[in-house]
Amino acid sequence: MVLRLMHISIATLFWLVLIVKTADLLRQPHNWGLRHLVMLCLGLSIALTVGIPPIYATIDWLTHVPNLAKLLQHLATISACGAGSVMMIRLDRDAPRPGARVRRRIALAGAVATAMTVLFFLAPVDESEPIRFADRYSTAAFIPQYMLLFIAMIAVVCADVAISTWRYGRRRRGANVPLRMSVGLMFAAAIFGIAYCLFKAAYIVIRLLGESPLKGENALSTPLALAAVILGATSLALPKVGASIDAILHRLDRLRAYRRLHPLWSDLYAAMPEIVLNPPRGRDLMAILDIDYRLYRRVIEISDGMLALGIVGLPRHAHPDPRRAAAVAETLATGLQRMEKPAAASAVTTQAPAQQDRSLDDEIKWLILVADAYEWQTSHPSKSASEWHR
């Protein structure tokens, strides 16, 4: 029962991965890597779904062909293997003559699929057997050859994947963590796939020799196959998950910067309302939804306010050290205290004022230092801002 639930869960996971990757392919229709990845996910999604016993039995009942679902499951797996092998060969830049290897793998997959189809219809598999197909028919005429062809194709693909991921991992040791983990998981999936093939082949040979293993074929082959599929699915999903996590962390980092700049921006806005393009309406509870634009505007408005007070931005090659930030903060505090009426600020700009070609990220870091020093200065009016960084 546990394996059945895992089977259904993994099939569902692969359909979800397929939907995500198909959406990516629609946005990048010329990305050959995504094309092969979508074909791989489609093949495995179909194979896993057809292998669910109620669906397996329904296909046999509708077509009146016993165990046709098993043939469909295996052919879908072969197509996924072909797509996966081609994708890994193209990713492996160290592989000699990749074009010739790709053509050989496509021809091999087509030949194996054709031979398996012929052998299946020649074999006497007259009763539907969704769970113990290998136990029941492994010694039937033409089925050993059918199974060995299937196993050999999977073994070739798993070897391609293991070699390619090992080489890719050596080249990308400095890659980000999700990518390194994805490559490692795919390598582990290939190893489990090879173990599955070795066990399956050994089981068929033992049955042909007239021996009967103490346990059925599913006792070990199913856990090995599920382990390989789980690791492979996780590997495929991990880069997307990692990118989503990075995007969330980026937004949170931007939101923290936005909040840290608020005290300085608020005092400048109170003194010079005209520097703000869109006056605030209540609390910024939804700021995270468009935080990049809001933070960009905040940087512009603070810079405009500082320019109105005669404070220029940090020079291009100057290091944004706390001493310099404390001096600017003290000048800001003094300037705002001396203002008896709103200063005539320059017209509100739609782009950040020139900061000697400094990047937005550099400007944010600099203004955060100034804002922190300014907040400390306003909290300790009797002390010099130069004491803030000590």
**What is the DSSP track for 265-308?**
HHHHHHH-GGG-SS---S--TTGGGGHHHHHHHHHHHHHHHHHH
Q: What CA–CA distance (Å, rounded) separates 211 from 222?
A: 21
Q: What is the pLDDT of residue 65?
A: 92
Q: What is the pLDDT of residue 313?
A: 66
Please tell me the pTM assigned to this model. Answer: 0.69
Q: What is the pLDDT of residue 115?
A: 95
Domains of the chain: 2-242 (1.20.1070), 261-387 (no CATH)
Q: What CA–CA distance (Å, rounded) separates 303 from 79?
A: 59
Q: What is the pLDDT of residue 317?
A: 56
Lowest mean pLDDT among 59-73, 232-246, 314-328, 358-372: 314-328
> Between these two residues, 194 and 341, which has the higher pLDDT value?
194
- pLDDT tens for 199-220 read 989 888 888 887 776 566 677 8
Q: How would residue 101 be classed by pLDDT, with cut points 50, 70 and 90?
A: confident
Q: How would residue 321 be classed by pLDDT, with cut points 50, 70 and 90?
A: confident
Which residues contact residue 227 at a Cβ distance below 8 angstroms, ignoring those fewer than 6 apart?
189, 192
Query: Six-digit token pair at 265?
Result: 């921006």
Instruction: With H, G, I as helix, E, B as strand and everything else as coil, classify residue 174.
Output: coil
Percent of the chain at pLDDT > 70 equals 84
> Per-residue pLDDT for 382 more than 80?
no
- pLDDT tens for 61-84 read 999 999 999 999 999 999 998 888
Give me the mean pLDDT over the 323-336 stretch. Answer: 82
Q: What is the pLDDT of residue 152?
A: 93
Which residue type does 277 have? L
Q: What is the pLDDT of residue 244?
A: 81
Report the candidate in 228, 225, 110, 107 with the shortest Cα–Cα distance to residue 162. Answer: 228
Q: At what angle do helices 177-208 and 218-260 cross, to 10 degrees?
A: 170
Query: Phi first, then psi: what are they for 366, rounded to 5°?
Result: -65, -45
> Per-residue pLDDT for 263 more than 80?
yes
Which residues contact residue 280 at a Cβ distance below 8 angstroms, ignoring those fewer than 6 apart?
269
> Per-residue pLDDT for 34 more than 90?
no
Give me the mean pLDDT over the 365-389 stretch. Answer: 76
Q: What is the pLDDT of residue 183?
A: 85
> Between these two residues, 86 and 317, which has the higher pLDDT value?
86
Q: How many CB atoms sit inside 10 A of residue 377's CB?
A: 21
> Per-residue pLDDT for 338 more than 50?
yes
Give me the mean pLDDT over the 120-132 stretch. Answer: 89
Lowest mean pLDDT among 147-156, 157-166, 324-333: 324-333
Q: What is the pLDDT of residue 216?
A: 65
Average pLDDT, the chain: 82
Give me the mean pLDDT over the 118-147 stretch. Answer: 89
Q: What CA–CA distance (Å, rounded) separates 155 from 106?
A: 15
Q: What is the pLDDT of residue 314?
A: 64
